[in-house]
Amino acid sequence: MALQLTINGISIGAIYALIAVGFAVVFNIMRFSNFAHGGMISACAFISFFFQRAFDPPPPFFVTVLFSAVCGMGIALLIDTLGYRRIRLKNSPKIYYFLMSLTFAILIEQILTVFFGTDIYGFPSVFKSQTFEIGSMIFKTMNIVILAVSVVILVALVWMINKTKIGLAIRAVAINADTSRLMGINSSVIVTVIFIIAGVLAGVSGVFLGVQYGVFPSVGPSMMLKGFIASIIGGLGSLSGAIFAALALGLIEMFLTFFIGATEATVILFGIMLAFLFIRPQGIMGIIVEDKA
């Protein structure tokens, strides 16, 4: 039983990781928690749902994922232009980013609610059989696909940031935006790249959440909170820390729910979080980011 729980925990942890990394990437450069990420995920879930339904026969699943990723990119850039650009140019206090992202999260959820209602839309099932068994273990086909895609995306992302030129520029801006500008790095290009990455991540997680849990306006925001927790516990801005924390969160949640109960798990999780911040405020990866508002 513990093995089955572990598998389930890792599968949900993989989804948390995709969301948490989306947070961490933006935080790395912009130094704020992008709450709009949850709204972007919901929007992408709806887009991919209608895309999948628009064709008969439905397009291959990876096409939907790609399409959703592109749309997510577009939404992210749109939000950046409408919401964050002027704040950035004016050098306004960070708290405005915070509020702006919150407002966008609420706005997207409400627009979806008005046009599509709060009822769930069932994503047509992608695979013939939902599960397969190995021995006494039951694997969800979708979980395996999600796990595989997440691993590929996350590895590619970490490689890009650590090995490529643009990754170097991103890291430079992350360390000090002003100095890197003096070194000839165009920081507005970097910001665009960052939002493209975040948008792609939101697009992919939107499809996955839609397939796993159905499509409804609050699907993103409800999961976003978990991603937020993971990105903070992982150490703000640290990608590998976020992934690690997300997997841990998925596992802890699964075991707590199984052995103690879902409602109690919420309470205990909060206790763990508070204790963690008390004992190790720098997060798992130990990077301290000074609060310069």
Return the residue of 151, 155, 175, 267 that touches other proteins, per CB under 8 A: 267
Kindly give, in sequence order, each residue whose CB lies less than 8 Å from that of residue 282, ignoring residues fewer than 6 positions away: 235, 288
- Regarding 285 and contact with other proteins (CB under 8 A), the answer is no
Report which secondary-structure segment, H or E, holds 133.
strand 131-134
Residue from 67, 123, 195, 208 binding other proteins (CB under 8 A): 123
Count of residues interacting with other proteins (CB under 8 A): 75
Measured distance CA(231)–CA(22) in Å, rounded: 9
Residue 273 makes contact with other proteins by CB under 8 A: yes
Beta-carbon-side half-sphere exposure of residue 198 (alpha carbons within 13 Å)? 32
Coarse DSSP helix, strand, coil percentages of the chain, rounded to the nearest 5 percent: 75, 5, 20
| Choice between 67 and 104, CB closer to other proteins | 104
Answer yes or no whether residue 3 interacts with other proteins by CB under 8 A: no
Nearer to other proteins, 94 or 171 (CB): 94
Two tokens, residue 126: 């992608």
Residue 286 contacts other proteins per CB under 8 A? no
Helix 2-30, helix 219-233: angle, nearest 10: 80
Q: Does 22 bind other proteins (CB under 8 A)?
A: no
Specify the 3-state DSSP secondary structure of 129: coil
Q: Is 236 in the site for other proteins (CB under 8 A)?
A: yes
> In the complex, what is the shortest distance from the CB of residue 168 to other proteins, in angstroms, rounded to a whole number?
26
CB of 229 to other proteins, least distance (A): 6
C-alpha–C-alpha distance, residues 249 and 13, integer Å: 7
Restricting to residues 146-205, which ones interact with other proteins according to CB under 8 A? none
- Closer residue to other proteins, CB minimum distance, 12 or 196: 12
Rounded alpha-carbon distances, angstroms, from residue 77 to 63, 108, 135, 201: 21, 15, 47, 13
- Confirm or reject binding of residue 258 to other proteins (CB under 8 A): yes
Token duo for residue 223:
């999961």
DSSP annotation of 123 reads: P
User: Is residue 254 close enough to count as binding other proteins by CB under 8 A?
Assistant: yes
Q: Which is nearer to other proteins, 33 or 68 (CB)?
A: 33
CB nearer other proteins, residue 108 or residue 201: 108
Of 46-54, 67-75, 158-166, 226-234, the segment contacting other proteins by CB under 8 A is: 226-234
Nearer to other proteins, 60 or 122 (CB): 122
What are the C-alpha distances in Å from 115 to residues 108, 152, 240? 11, 34, 38
Phi and psi torsions of 140, nearest 5°: -85, 125
Near other proteins in 56-115, by CB under 8 A:
82-83, 86-87, 90, 92-96, 98-100, 102-104, 106-107, 110-111, 114
251 binds other proteins (CB under 8 A): no
Q: Given the rule CB under 8 A, which of 160-168, 174-182, 188-196, 247-255 is the region that contacts other proteins?
A: 247-255
218 within 8 A of 203, measured Cβ to Cβ: no
